[in-house]
Amino acid sequence: MPELWQLSVTEASRLLARREISSVALTDACLDRIAAVDGRLSAYITVTADAARRQAAAADRRLAAHRHAGSRPDPLTGVPMQVKDLLCTNGVPTTCASRMLAEYVPVYDATAVARLRAQDAVLLGKGNLDEFGMGSSTENSAFFPTRNPWDTARVPGGSSGGSAAAVAAGAAPFALGTDTGGSIRQPAAFCGITGLKPTYGRVSRYGLVAYASSLDQIGPLARDAADCALVLQAIAGHDPRDATSLPDAVPDYTAALTGDIAGLRLGVPGEYFAGGMDAGVRNSVTTAIDKLASLGAEIREVSLPTTEYALACYYIIAPSECSANLARYDGVKYGYSHQGDGDLWQAMERTRQHGFGPEVKRRIMLGAFALSSGYYDAYYRKAQQVRTLIRQDFTRVFNEVDALVSPVSPVVAFPIGERADDPLRMYLVDIYTLPVNIAGLPALSIPCGFADGLPVGLQLIGPHLAEPTLLNIAHSYQQATDWHRQRPPV
């Protein structure tokens, strides 16, 4: 048996249910692993070691009771997890990696967190991120950058970089991240793990500190598709506290993992293989597509002509929503408050000046401009019209194919600092993930090879509520390959 910290969620769940291992032992192994590697990675903002041990002991009691009664425990009972520090956790700081909320401690759990706690999953701590989820490298954290476990001189991706790095390094069996424009899939690709962005509304956003409310979605990062299926099963479903939560019944995601994809029609959008892609990324992705064909899938070339407008569309809609959502941080009601000379308006100005980092301020200003009088129709309204065209593109293509296959990013993990002073070059890293959020679709990133010694991610995109199909495609591929079993050297 591998060391306990190396266990996948599925393996740990099975061993815990059989009482072959204890949650206390597994949690201690993960905490020891955090102590061993996080000094080099900075994947965690907060580690809740004492609380985790108490939760693990409670989980062991629940597992023993199930064993005695001959009943089955919930799949995630006793399994440790990390939660991105953008999700509220009762009694545990939720900083959003921002000075603005550096001392904020929520008095409630986000719905997704509460549903995991209801299964007695064990919270190890909170993951680092780009401030308020705004970034693609986790360099925008107000506290420290996170480093990639495959090469600590490189970024782990973002904004869920702390979560991806922790899972890849064995410092958590799984994590909850958020995805507004690729923030689960891109770091999953850069760190060589599996990450799922569900359909918009499939997972409640209640308790998620909002960045862009029409784009944000919570999802799992884990070793493989089977692990993601278990976590999604726990967190998906309607929540009356979230007006955007879908009422649709939650299917059995684990039962969907048959591994049979014979006859499935997979589309390859030509626009996702444009210039600027690293040759190693292209080779890994095309090889993976060939592998899917050998497993019985039918590969078709398709076109999504509005792809070229997605970046501009996103960087009008997302900053506009961000400027509205972050207006609440005024130094009066909660969070950081600049205390000094001057009137209320000067205090508010200085609160935002010192409380927000440069990338957050950049996006607030972009959004405020797009929504301002005289520019609203030219920018925000036009972007919403383009959003409709992007959705229609996907709808048309999904009349022809069951899912789409593409790269996650045109590049592999880049050196820390390389793109920090070039926002446009940084934004282009997410060119293949942004359209999915604009259309509210589900998408999955799985490891499919290496380029220059760094992981490459394959993206699977489906129509609304097609998570079972995507997870099964990923599972079929992972049953036939070993990329998801590779471990970083850290």
Please report whether residue 352 resides in a domain: no
Has 183 been annotated as catalytic?
yes
Q: Give the model's pLDDT for residue 71.
A: 95
Query: Does the structure show a pLDDT above 80 at 30?
Result: yes
Query: Does the structure show a pLDDT above 70 at 341?
Result: no
Has 361 been annotated as catalytic?
no
Which one of 98, 159, 163, 409 is the catalytic residue? Answer: 159
Query: Does the structure show a pLDDT above 80 at 1?
Result: no
Has 284 been annotated as catalytic?
no
Please report whether residue 132 resides in a domain: yes
Please report whether residue 28 resides in a domain: yes
Please report whether residue 284 resides in a domain: no
Please state, in angstroms and rounded to a whole number, the distance separating the CA atoms of residues 241 and 238: 9
Q: Give the model confidence (pLDDT) of 253-284 as tens digits.
A: 999 999 999 999 999 999 999 888 999 999 99
CB contact set of 393 (below 8 Å; sequence gap of 6+) = 304, 305, 306, 307
Q: Give the model confidence (pLDDT) of 96-122 as tens digits.
A: 999 999 999 999 999 999 999 999 999
Please report whether residue 386 resides in a domain: no
Whole-number average pLDDT of the chain = 97
Please state, in angstroms and rounded to a whole number, the distance separating the CA atoms of residues 462 and 473: 11
Please report whether residue 285 resides in a domain: no
Query: Does the structure show a pLDDT above 70 at 467?
Result: yes
Mean pLDDT of 224-228: 98
Query: Does the structure show a pLDDT above 90 at 480?
Result: yes
Please give the tally of structural domains in the chain.
1
Which one of 42, 183, 245, 284 is the catalytic residue? Answer: 183
Q: Give the model's pLDDT for residue 440.
A: 98
Domain that includes residue 223, residue range = 4-266+403-419+444-485
Percent of the chain scoring above 70 in pLDDT: 100
Question: 35: domain CATH number?
Answer: 3.90.1300.10
Q: Give the model confidence (pLDDT) of 285-315 as tens digits.
A: 999 999 999 999 999 999 999 999 999 999 9
Please report whether residue 363 resides in a domain: no
CA atoms within 13 A of residue 21's CA, in its CB half-sphere: 23
- Residue 463 region, left (φ>0) first, then alpha (ψ -120 to 50), else beta? beta
Please report whether residue 57 resides in a domain: yes
Percent of the chain scoring above 90 in pLDDT: 94
Mean pLDDT of 170-180: 98
Q: What is the pTM of this model?
A: 0.97
- Work out the pLDDT band at 374, boundaries 50, 70, 90: confident
Query: Does the structure show a pLDDT above 80 at 359?
Result: yes
Greatest distance between any 2 Cα atoms in the chain: 70
What is the pairing mode between strands 122-127 and 80-84?
parallel
Q: Give the model's pLDDT for residue 275.
A: 80
Respond yes or no on whether the N-terminal peptide bond of residue 294 is cis (omega within 30° of 0): no
Please report, as a single letter, which amino acid is at residue 82. Q
Handedness of CA 434, 436, 442, 448 (dihedral sign): negative
Q: Give the model's pLDDT for residue 2.
A: 85
Q: Give the model's pLDDT for residue 276.
A: 86
Residue whose pair of structure tokens reads 């029609």 in the numeric block? 265
Which one of 8, 84, 126, 141 is the catalytic residue? Answer: 84
